[in-house]
Structure 1
């Protein structure tokens, strides 16, 4: 890059990364009755980002490999803010909000390939505590490119079902047994988007992450179940390709994905060693129908919000009590200011509990 392009990059990256952080804030603290207050709290980072976009549009074609992902990330971030700001006038405001927030993982997916070459982007995809030096940052920066590391997709285009997306740490070493996190999206979601709810934590702590997409519109929480055999198939593929620690294989999920964590994870033949349902529905029969040999001593980490409007918190409290009575080793985390959104800060507590990092 010439000096002018370097100056452009220095001016462009901070507002882009700040816009993404602020969108993450909205996604975490969104509670429909408080939406306008939450949106006001993030200010107008999109205005500053929009002002910097023309600088990159003037770059020469030789820098397209850097310019294109940066502009794609900015475009997605700006689309998210535009959708959020228009949502109060939409007849179906909550749906408009969730639709706007779908642009955040698109922005992150566009930006991630630059993590190797741009240190600020590398730091963005780490937990804040690991961004300023430290062994983890050094290991990631020094890691040689490999075809089987980074963000990978297997039959998991946005409009497809039944495949999975994955993140394998850039410093993966086949002589080390790595913990595995299998993270299930919510209703009508897909693994390619939900991957970004966990990527920072997996990258910071050193865990392999798999985010499957349900076979149907959502997970098979009632009726015929094609998803459990598909999860077993995907897990078999992952264990055949990477060195997975057999004692740390976590199944977790948000909303319908959390409910399916119960449904599938409590089955006698489940290969998962730990379960962590988040913001999930629970029926007492799930515990009563489970085989005692599966439930007894099974580590289960339940996370739920006191403000959850879709699955009231009493469901989670009942799940913790019922599973404890059935003999499971239950950890219960209730978050006072959490609505029906994904609490990314809980990932650290879950990984601590799993013994990762």
Structure 2
């Protein structure tokens, strides 16, 4: 008899579920289903209903067994988590008791060479979390040198972004850059790493993945959607893995978690009441035991807030950084 596969344990999973505080009869949204770790923990914690969302069809298919074992308490939806509010409406839900998000690429995606997320595994330069839209290879082939430099600098915080972009443009004149190994080797020629440093291609790959999947835009839209669907007292818990994501979450909670200050030089006006009560003054990070078990957790930060009864605020404008649509059409 084949031994069952070990259960996936999400980063900061115990802390996330404790913050979510599931209760009998509650409805919760696992906005980034992945391997189902959060959904399983929420279902185990109380007699709850869970809506699991993932844009990755493979993750949804792998979750069907958990659906079968949940006795009708788990529903999986293949979609972007930015569509969270519409998904809840389609499920007949006007408000929910909690939303949890684990932002970024999953271990399953990183470990599958054919997905093209990792420079450590040679595979096609894909990087799409879903199955639609341009691949990373398409971006590398079509984006201008200036756009590539902006992508690497903004989304990867790569200090050598211009050198990397220049090297890519020169290399693609010789042959298409279609594999992860080919791109990693090009980057390694212009980004030098000291012993013990991260791989020279780390930031370039991060930037491409974020750009191809429009991850930061998706996160900002998903946070606003969660604000609209959470009932008073409902909780939003977000685990992020790098500074760009964490900054967006922190700024969102700060903007929603305190009343705007007035000015003694201007007439007094009605101020919007805070729509969230912040639960984590400082982000929660993994303890030593978790880091020993999962080194990938080292950069994780958890932030959480509780919905007040104030109306949701309008979504903020998305930053004016390079967009996938514009770059691919050469605009």
Q: Normalized against structure 1, the TM-score is what?
A: 0.25
Higher RCO (CA 8 Å, separation ≥ 6 residues): 2
Q: Normalized against structure 2, the TM-score is what?
A: 0.26
Between structures 1 and 2, the one with greater helix share: 1
